[in-house]
Amino acid sequence: MKPWPYPKWIAHRGAGKLAPENTLAAFQLGASYGYRMFECDAKLSRDGVSFLLHDADLERTTNGTGVAGSFDWSHLSQLDAGSWHSDTYIGEPLPTLESLANFCLANGYFLNIEIKPTPGFEAVTGSTVASEAMRLWQGESIPPLLTSFKTQALATAKQTAPYLPRGLLLDALWDGWLEAALELDCLAIVCNYKLWNKELVDTVHAQKMRCLSYTVNQEDIAESLINLGTDGIITDSVDKLGN
């Protein structure tokens, strides 16, 4: 199995629920708790800019409305992505993937980029995010880990930047998941933590892939996953677990 360069503990969307998810303020807060690796969600604006947002729609985490990918970055960049969380973060903008990359590279932090396509744009999102990651981390010894639930996005990411590490996200063990991960040359399986047991961990490790879990917020669950031999834990509880 190839050496695994990433920390065991990964801050979900920057700082879990302690700050507005997928904003630079969240990653700064997560770092203040000692986290050195972060998970984020990346999708495309209508004009092809890679930016951070989990949902397909804007309503939950911004003051905008509609499908995020149907707007140009000039519009999206003006939205308030912080006031939904608390008054402390009023006016916090949506960040580009490039702005988060600059933050991580300047501070020696690691990143797990979940490719989160607008429905129907899986292929172009995978290729564009991979191309952007390849450019931003050019010459760096430890690149970001690209993950997705969407195999088509991972396939085009592989075609675009084959040397960038990939991981398949699973909320269920659907038929053919292992074969798909191997076809995509994945280095990790990132599971809903409830799926992991000794047999599954052994199966993944036997294929020289790593076992990561999302989203783990209780100490006893984290301890049981560590005891199973899993390799990484994504958590919202950055103030209580890990670092």
Report d(CA 63, CA 80) in Å as an integer.
Answer: 6
Structure token digits, residue 187 = 């280095």
Q: pLDDT value at position 123? A: 98
Q: Is 126 in contact with 150 (CB distance < 8 Å)?
A: yes
Q: pLDDT value at position 41? A: 98
Instruction: Write the DSSP symbol of residue 195.
Output: G
Q: Residue 109: which region, alpha, beta or left (left: phi > 0; alpha: psi -120 to 50)?
A: beta
* Residue-range domain boundaries for the chain: 9-58+96-235
Could you tell me the end-to-end alpha-carbon distance of the chain, in angstroms, rounded to an integer? 26
Q: pLDDT value at position 60? A: 98
Alpha helices in the chain (DSSP H): 24-32, 73-76, 97-107, 122-136, 151-160, 177-183, 198-206, 219-228
What is this structure's pTM?
0.98
Q: pLDDT value at position 131? A: 98
Q: pLDDT value at position 236? A: 98
Cite the active site residues: 12, 54
Third-level CATH fold of 9-58+96-235: TIM Barrel (3.20.20)
Report d(CA 181, CA 204) in Å as an integer.
Answer: 10
Q: pLDDT value at position 1? A: 84
| Structure confidence by residue, pLDDT tens digits, 228-239 | 999 999 999 999
